[in-house]
Amino acid sequence: MKRTPVLLRQHIGRYAVAHWRVQGKKKIIETGAEQILKKKNIPIYEATDLVRHPPVAFDETHPDWHDKPILSCKDDNVLLEGLSQAKILTNTVELKEGLPDSIALKDIPKQINNRVQNIILGSWLFDAEQKKLPIVKDPERPAWNFPRTYGVTRNRVCKLLTARLLQLIETTCGRNDLVSDRYLINDLLFSYPFERQSDLIQFQLSGDTVVTTINSSVKKSHPHTIFTRFNREEVKNLYEEEVTVPQIYGRSLLKAFTVCASYAKNQYGDEVKLLPKPVTVQAVQTDGCFFHFGVFQLNTLDLENGDVKNVWYQTPLLNLFERCCYDLGRPTLEGYNSEVVKHLYAFYHSV
Amino acid sequence: MSCLTRSFQTLVLSTIPVNISSPKILGTVRYMAKYVEKPEIGRGKSFRRIVHFPEEYTVKPLGVTNLAGRDPNSGRVVVKGIGGGIKHKYHWIEWKREGPSEGAPQIERVMKVIKDGCRTAFVALVAYNDKLKYILATENMKAGDIIRTSSYIPRIPVRPNEGDAYPLGALPIGTQVNCIEKYPGFGGTLVHAAGTYATILRKAPDDHIVVMMPSKREFSLPAICMCTVGRISNVEHSSTPIGSAQRNRELGNRPRSGLWQRKKGIHGRKIRRPPPVQTIARKDKGNTEIVTFSCDRPLIPTKFHQFHY
């Protein structure tokens, strides 16, 4: 039988082999790099010697092995019990519901409300980012696959919203002395390790946008307000159930505590327990739609002794709006709530 | 045609001297079906899915590989009528409810009752000491409930609450229980399905307790076997119709042949007396090693070059 007719058929495997046969032979181009390096007395190693390390076993023989585990709370996790657990961990009490009296809410003009609405639309709908958004599932019809949508990701929305709202507040608050003292820093990482009831605990949390101010007495910059974002795709329970509202509250508290504690440690030394002067930080957490406002006052870093306690004030979750989407191709914003912006102004004004 | 080729081949081969190394002529090829041993069904092996269990217990929902009724080793279909459906993550249930053997019971707290796609009953996330685990939720279990676990058998039966885990011997007669251990320390294996419960009937000699299963069969189990008090959650499951063919597909079942018919009055009624009480004891299986003999040459006298696997 002639083999020709069979071989005439296209066969990707045979083609790949033939291609490999030709392209598998490569001539190494001499660049002269070796000569130049030798002239400058730089040692030369074989690349494979550096790359091919045997895999390091992750057990007792590992150089960084510790017998006692450290319980670490990071940005992608929340406490199981939420706020109540966070209060116990940080030796904190909530004296009353709502924010302290020093934070006064003032009415804002209609003109600013209109600008805020434009900011919301600009961040949620008009931004040019087009990325794959998370998979949508309807719990009533779990088998239904929605078409995959592209648009502005939640992290980008939060980032734009905070930056634009802060910029609006800075330009319209009418206090140049305040604004000249305030600085904005993005993506700061705060870490506070401590020991509690012979457990090693560490909080490693980020302040996504931190407003700092210059303290008149110390003449030194210190954290004033932290803005953190909450993305349901990133912040999850270990058991993959939905994050509850108390857990969101607890996350705000932990973030504020970590910022206060790491600043206090930096300010008063590693061994400080009872602070000579309390450290206060305001915390704002948002997922782009809801806002959570809290104020944390750090009095002590002795977290096991109950004589002196830290103080936490907070508001419930406030929605900036009810609905913001394209309706029949028309951008719509419904149920705008000006309370959120009032709180933001009040936070910015507090000294 | 193949007969003709074969006869030509023998003709040609017979004329060539044997010791000359000339290229062989390939005759007809016999495609032999390879014998594959299929596993038995109903022997505790699932052909619906494989769960990828890590080494350590975790409450993180586990990934699964759906098998569609196939044996994972041979790849052959063993069970018909399974395939497709919504893929669910698996909640690894801690079957062993171990408590202190003396003193006060261990206190646990139900954090959440979760609907699990891989089983009919609901699953409860439980926190104890500094750990989390899943157990099968009982009928009235809800978030925030405190449940107790103890391995101690007191002289007077305890007054248990729903969701508590005690040895069979510690519970009063008539108690509804679920998730019962078949052998002590083995983990709860009996009564897992939604809405089911077993009833403690009486004590039996030799430290055994007679328990009536949901099937009305009676088992005599050792008194130290742990069990959970109450009825398994999702009681409405048995009375909830699947609803539609599509819903059945979502559950991972393929269409049935349609030939099966339920027995009716014309088939008559067989009245049997209930089977006697079965005493459960761990059997010593002895030597279970299986020796496989191999055969070097094919059993059928077929020419070697004609084999083509």
pLDDT, tens digit, for every residue of B166-175?
999 999 999 9
The predicted-structure confidence for A100-140, as pLDDT tens digits, reads as follows: 988 889 999 999 999 999 999 999 999 999 999 999 999 88
pLDDT for B142 equals 94
pLDDT for A320 equals 95
Tokens 């409930």: give the residue.
B145
Which runs of consecutive H residues, i.e. helices, occur in B2-134? 2-15
Of B61, B111, B246, the CB nearest to A240: B61
Q: pLDDT category, A150, cuts 50, 70, 90?
A: very high
How many Å apart are CA A293 and CA A285, to the nearest integer? 7
CB B39: neighbour CB atoms within 10 A? 13
pLDDT for A215 equals 73
Decide if B232 touches A, using CB distance below 8 A.
no
What single letter denotes the amino acid at residue A131?
K
Q: At what angle do helices A110-124 and A339-349 cross, to 10 degrees?
A: 100
Of B59, B86, B112, the CB nearest to A238: B59
The dihedral through the CA atoms of A242, A247, A249, A254 has a sign that is negative
Residue B301 clears pLDDT 90, i.e. is over it = no
How many Å apart are CA A117 and CA A127, to the nearest integer? 14
Decide if B250 touches A, using CB distance below 8 A.
yes
Question: What percentage of chain A has pLDDT greater than the value 90?
Answer: 64
Name residues whose C-beta falls within 8 Å of residue B80's C-beta, 6 or more positions apart in sequence: B69, B254
Which runs of consecutive H residues, i.e. helices, occur in A12-153? 12-23, 33-39, 47-51, 83-89, 110-124
CB contacts of B246 in chain A (<8 Å) are 143
For residue A90, the number of C-alpha atoms closer than 13 Å in the C-beta half-sphere is 33
Q: Which residues from A are below 8 Å from B when comparing CB atoms? A: 80, 142-143, 238-241
Of A80, A142, A238, the CB nearest to B60: A238
CB contacts of A239 in chain B (<8 Å) are 59-61, 112, 114, 125, 132
Name residues whose C-beta falls within 8 Å of residue B62's C-beta, 6 or more positions apart in sequence: B51, B52, B53, B54, B89, B90, B91, B92
Inter-residue contact B104 to B146 (CB < 8 Å): no
Whether A143 sits inside 8 A of B250 (CB atoms) is yes
Whether A239 sits inside 8 A of B61 (CB atoms) is yes
Name residues whose C-beta falls within 8 Å of residue B245's C-beta, 6 or more positions apart in sequence: B255
Give CA separation, B292 vs A276, A283, B35, in Å.
80, 70, 15
Q: Which element (helix H / strand E) includes A168?
A: helix A154-172
pLDDT for A21 equals 77
Of A80, A142, A239, the CB nearest to B86: A142
Q: In this complex, how many residue pairs, one in chain A and one in chain B, have their CB atoms less than 8 Å apart?
A: 25
pLDDT for A104 equals 87
Inter-residue contact A260 to A280 (CB < 8 Å): yes
- The token pair at B257 is 């042949």
Mutate to test the interface with A, among B1, B5, B29, B60 (most CBs of A within 10 A): B60
How many Å apart are CA B62 and CA B51, to the nearest integer? 7
Mutate to test the interface with B, among A137, A239, A244, A247 (most CBs of B within 10 A): A239
Query: CA-nearest residue of chain B to A142?
Result: B86
Identify the three-state secondary structure at position A252: helix
Measured in angstroms, the CA of A143 and the nearest CA of chain B are apart by 6
Mean pLDDT calculated for residue range B201-226: 94
Question: What percentage of chain A has pLDDT greater than the value 70?
Answer: 97
How many Å apart are CA B209 and CA B222, to the nearest integer? 6
Residue B299 clears pLDDT 70, i.e. is over it = no
Tokens 């067989």: give the residue.
B270
Query: CA-nearest residue of chain A to B125?
Result: A239
The dihedral through the CA atoms of A118, A249, B109, B133 has a sign that is positive
- Burial class of residue B238, CB neighbours in 10 A (0-12, 13-18, 19+): exposed
For residue B150, the number of C-alpha atoms closer than 13 Å in the C-beta half-sphere is 18
Bridge-based pairing of strands B180-181 and A183-196 is: unpaired
CB B172: neighbour CB atoms within 10 A? 11
Decide if B111 touches A, using CB distance below 8 A.
yes
pLDDT for A58 equals 82
How far is residue B283 CA from its own chain's centroid?
Answer: 20
Residue B205 clears pLDDT 60, i.e. is over it = yes
Decide if B27 touches A, using CB distance below 8 A.
no
Residue B300 clears pLDDT 60, i.e. is over it = no
Question: What percentage of chain B has pLDDT greater than the value 70?
Answer: 82
Strand partners, A94: none
Residue A233 clears pLDDT 70, i.e. is over it = yes
What single letter denotes the amino acid at residue A75?
D
Q: Nearest to residue A291, comparing CAs of A163, A172, A169, A162?
A: A162
DSSP assignments along B210-261, one per residue: EEE-TTS-EEEEETT-EEEES-BS-GGGGGS---SHHHHHHTTBPPP-S---
pLDDT for A256 equals 95
Mean pLDDT calculated for residue range A94-100: 91
Query: CA-nearest residue of chain A to B84?
Result: A143
Ramachandran bin of B206, using left for φ above 0, alpha for ψ from -120 to 50, beta for the remaining angles: left
CB contacts of B112 in chain A (<8 Å) are 239, 241
Inter-residue contact A261 to A223 (CB < 8 Å): no
Name residues whose C-beta falls within 8 Å of residue B129's C-beta, 6 or more positions apart in sequence: none
Q: Which element (helix H / strand E) includes A345?
A: helix A339-349
Query: CA-nearest residue of chain B to A239?
Result: B60
Whether A241 sits inside 8 A of B112 (CB atoms) is yes
Q: Nearest to residue A228, comparing CAs of A212, A244, A210, A250?
A: A210
- The token pair at A272 is 């400080």
How many Å apart are CA B172 and CA B160, to the nearest integer? 9
Is ipTM beyond 0.90?
Answer: no
pLDDT for B302 equals 54
How many Å apart are CA B286 and CA B284, to the nearest integer? 6
How many Å apart are CA A282 and CA A143, to the nearest integer? 44
